[in-house]
């Protein structure tokens, strides 16, 4: 991994009067520490880390994320993200647009997504537009289903 080049190597190592010169290391290869869930981290210069709305936090307005949005708090407004996880303590009041949605908490509003997963204690009150849906036993949806 590290290389050291030496131009002038003394012929007699016991001769202390000769100076030794080493060129500085010009190339070092390092491996990434973590992949952050991506299979090939080398192809991603800056992996997108999840955005987190923590329990006890309330956000009012429009929130947009290019990656994963993990909601344990409350969002009142419009949510747009690549992937959304609403934890059991999470609540979204408003519109939700995403490729993948996992609801373990509550959504009061419309959901527009490709893939929807409803957990056993989840509640959704609003229209759902989807490509695929999975509802675990105990999950509740009150509203219209619209298959894309």
What pLDDT does 3 receive?
52
What pLDDT does 4 receive?
54
What pLDDT does 47 receive?
77
Residue 120's domain spans which residues?
A: 51-147
Is residue 86 situated within a structural domain?
yes
Is residue 38 situated within a structural domain?
no
What pLDDT does 129 receive?
97
- Provide block-wise average pLDDT over 10 residues at a time, the chain (148 residues): 51 52 49 43 67 97 97 98 98 98 98 98 97 97 94
Is residue 127 situated within a structural domain?
yes
Which residues are CB-neighbours of 127 under 8 A, at least 6 positions away? 110, 111, 143, 144, 145, 146
d(CA 82, CA 89): 21
* Single pTM value for the model: 0.69
Q: Which two tokens stand for residue 23?
A: 């060129």
What pLDDT does 56 receive?
97
Question: How many domains in the chain?
Answer: 1
Counting DSSP H helices and E strands in the chain, the numbers are: 0, 14
Is residue 138 situated within a structural domain?
yes
Is residue 1 situated within a structural domain?
no
Q: Which two tokens stand for residue 17?
A: 């009067």
């Amino acid at each position: 991994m590290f290389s050291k080049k030496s131009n002038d190597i003394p012929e007699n190592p016991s001769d202390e009067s000769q100076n030794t010169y080493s060129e500085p290391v010009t190339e070092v290869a390092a491996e990434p520490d973590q992949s952050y869930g991506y299979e090939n981290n080398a192809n991603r210069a800056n992996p997108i880390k999840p955005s987190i709305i923590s329990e006890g936090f309330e956000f009012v307005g429009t929130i947009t994320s290019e990656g994963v949005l993990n909601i344990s708090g409350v969002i009142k407004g419009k949510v747009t993200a690549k992937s959304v996880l609403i934890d059991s303590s999470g609540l979204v009041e408003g519109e939700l647009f995403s490729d993948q949605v996992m609801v373990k908490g509550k959504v009061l509003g419309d959901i527009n997504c490709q893939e929807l997963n409803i957990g056993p204690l989840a509640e959704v009150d609003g229209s759902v537009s989807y490509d695929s849906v999975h509802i675990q036993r105990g999950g509740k949806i009150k509203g219209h289903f619209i298959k894309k």
